[in-house]
Amino acid sequence: MSHLNILGIRGVPAMHGGFETFAERLSLYLVGRGWTVTVYCQENGIESDKSWTSEWRGIQRIHIPVKSTGALGTVVFDFLAARHALTQPGLFLTLGYNTAIFNVLQRAKGQVNLFNMDGIEWRREKWSLVAKAWFWLNERFGCWVGNHLIADHPEIKAHLQTRVSASKITMIPYGGENVIEADREIIASYGLIQNQYSIVIARPEPENSILEMVRAFSRKRRNHSLVILGAYDKSANQYHKKILDAASDEVLFLGAIYDSQVVQALRFYSRCYLHGHKVGGTNPSLVEALGAGCAVIAHDNKFNRWVAGESAEYFKDEDGFSNSFDKILSDNALLEKMKLGSKSMFMDKFTWNDILGQYEKLLCKWL
């Protein structure tokens, strides 16, 4: 029987980010096709040195307790998981390279380990020089210890080709759900009306252009709401404070929402999905916006242009964002054209069945 072990995430069911969602999707897909799938799961704040096992929807889970929380806890978990994995049979898939140095253990044992190399983490503005050096080093380790690398975007593949040969890399993007309906009562519970608000779903970090978008939106009265999801702490984070201080009363901060049905409805009924990411490969949130048929205004870079295509509007600065937003706010024909274009891009490149099938095909080559 085919056996896959998944490392590098916090566990399933997904409760954190894009990699967890992908791991859940891939695991359930493979289990349904007769695979045995084991996922390592991080358990925070538990005073124990013993792991334990459980099963969820046919997926085998190995729970690793860590006493620390935050980034340190994740680093400790990744080491303990890599060490425990030495006892496991089968093929390995490591999602992300942030602690790839620990996966030297798999290489030394002769275990086959494929790496999804995610984005270029060491280029992100939020990290200190020490953190950037750590990520840069681990990217190199991931390229070395991985038997094969997966890039989720052509530009990420091009970057990795400066490290390893092209034959060692396969490009498979992130997938998303084809959303054709959502619960309208959810947006009503927030006092929102279809097409009378636009939405930003992103971590509040400088490379995601949230401050620029909020400033541009808040320049004048729009008679339109800008809904922002994410956790903002004015007292503890200066960047958060700048965003909150720049916002007009038409900007609504709804906080961090992890209920996928709520997020899906908020996205589905918005007029525009606003995507300011400057760094990364195929961003899950942007793919999900295409799957929901959203009109997209995105930061103008090679990553976003490959994903969203020619039907999206792009901006380089606050003036460009304001101009694009004005255009879409006043032109319903353009809005509908953009929505149709988004859905077409999604169906062409990013449906889950296609993406997961590509993963299984690659994994089978390495069994």
What's the domain range around 304?
184-349
Residues 6+ apart with CB under 8 A from 125: 205, 206, 207
Q: Which amino acid is at 228?
A: I
d(CA 153, CA 167): 16
Structure tokens given for 289: 């916006």
CATH number at residue 198: 3.40.50.2000
d(CA 256, CA 228): 9
- Residue 193 shares a structural domain with residue 47: no
Q: Per-residue pLDDT tens for 243-275?
A: 999 999 999 999 999 888 999 999 999 999 999
d(CA 97, CA 138): 6
CB 263 within 8 A of CB 17: no
- Residue 311 shares a structural domain with residue 189: yes
What is the three-class DSSP state of 116? strand
**Which pLDDT belongs to residue 49?**
80
CB 342 within 8 A of CB 271: no
- Residue 90 shares a structural domain with residue 231: no
- Residue 10 shares a structural domain with residue 141: yes
- Residue 280 shares a structural domain with residue 191: yes
Residues 6+ apart with CB under 8 A from 304: 275, 277, 283, 286, 298, 312, 314
d(CA 84, CA 105): 10
- The residues of the chain scoring below 70 in pLDDT are 16
Residues in the chain, overall count: 367
What is the three-class DSSP state of 146? coil
Nearest to 348 by CA among 262, 290, 272: 290
Beta bridge partners of 228: 200, 253
- Residue 203 shares a structural domain with residue 122: no
- Kindly give the interhelix angle for 210-217 and 318-330, rounded to the nearest 10 degrees: 60
- Residue 52 shares a structural domain with residue 137: yes
Provide the number of structural domains found in the chain.
2
Structure tokens given for 77: 């978990």
- Residue 124 shares a structural domain with residue 208: no
Tokens 């901060």 sit on residue: 253
CB 98 within 8 A of CB 121: yes
- Residue 154 shares a structural domain with residue 229: no
Q: Per-residue pLDDT tens for 12-42?
A: 998 767 889 999 999 999 999 999 999 999 9
**Which pLDDT belongs to residue 144?**
96
- Residue 86 shares a structural domain with residue 69: yes
Q: Which amino acid is at 318?
A: E
d(CA 86, CA 37): 16
Residues 6+ apart with CB under 8 A from 111: 85, 86, 88, 92
Q: What are the two backbone dihedrals, phi and then psi, of residue 273, each rounded to the nearest 5 degrees?
A: -100, 125
**Which pLDDT belongs to residue 227?**
98
- Residue 87 shares a structural domain with residue 108: yes
Nearest to 189 by CA among 244, 290, 249, 257: 257
- Residue 155 shares a structural domain with residue 206: no
CB 233 within 8 A of CB 242: no
